[in-house]
């Protein structure tokens, strides 16, 4: 088996650089974490870059986590994993200051697309609105 020449950090940052370069991508959805959170990733979000691996061991364990200046246009990153798995609470991470909303509650994410407008609403299993962004594209116009 031949290892992939790039690590997860390089692949993630190359992908996000492409996402952050376009004014057409407002939000990226992911899951696998058993909660909901919405964060805004910008060129000042501490995500980690290759230069942060000061000792060359392939890990970001040297106490330095830098932003990536190539993340030129702000983009929302939404984790939605609240459909019944055992939930867990928010963990402290280098990018925690970029998290705008977090909940471990069961939820559904609804997206509404109208002419020129894209909005997000997160609703609990009991119908309570937990989070709402009326204009997801607004971050691209700043």
State residue 142's pLDDT score.
67
Measured between alpha carbons, how far is 26 from 66 in angstroms, rounded to an integer? 23
Coil, strand or helix at 89? coil
CA-based nearest residue to 122, from 137, 134, 139: 134
Residue 101 in any domain: the answer is: yes
pTM of the entire predicted model: 0.88
Residue 3 in any domain: the answer is: no
Residue 115 in any domain: the answer is: no
Q: Are 70 and 136 in contact (CB under 8 A)?
A: no
Number of structural domains in the chain: 1
Q: Are 37 and 78 in contact (CB under 8 A)?
A: yes
Domain span at 40: 8-105
Measured between alpha carbons, how far is 117 from 138 in angstroms, rounded to an integer? 9
State residue 96's pLDDT score.
92
Which residues have CB under 8 Å from 34's CB, separation 6+? 81, 82, 85, 86, 87, 88, 104
Residue 65 in any domain: the answer is: yes
Below-50 pLDDT ranges, the chain: none
């Amino acid at each position: 088996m031949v290892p992939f020449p790039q690590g997860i950090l390089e692949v993630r940052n190359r992908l996000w650089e492409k996402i952050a370069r376009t004014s057409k991508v407002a939000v990226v959805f992911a899951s696998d974490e058993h909660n909901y959170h919405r964060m805004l990733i910008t060129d000042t979000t501490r995500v980690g870059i290759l230069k942060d691996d000061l000792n060359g061991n392939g890990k970001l364990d040297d106490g330095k986590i830098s932003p990536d200046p190539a993340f030129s246009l702000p983009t929302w990153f939404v984790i939605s994993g609240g459909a019944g798995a055992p939930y867990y609470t928010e963990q402290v991470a280098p990018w925690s200051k970029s998290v705008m909303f977090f909940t471990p509650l069961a939820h559904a994410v609804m997206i509404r697309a109208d002419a020129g407008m894209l909005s997000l609403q997160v609703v609990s299993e009991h119908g309570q609105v937990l989070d709402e962004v009326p204009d997801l594209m607004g971050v691209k116009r700043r």
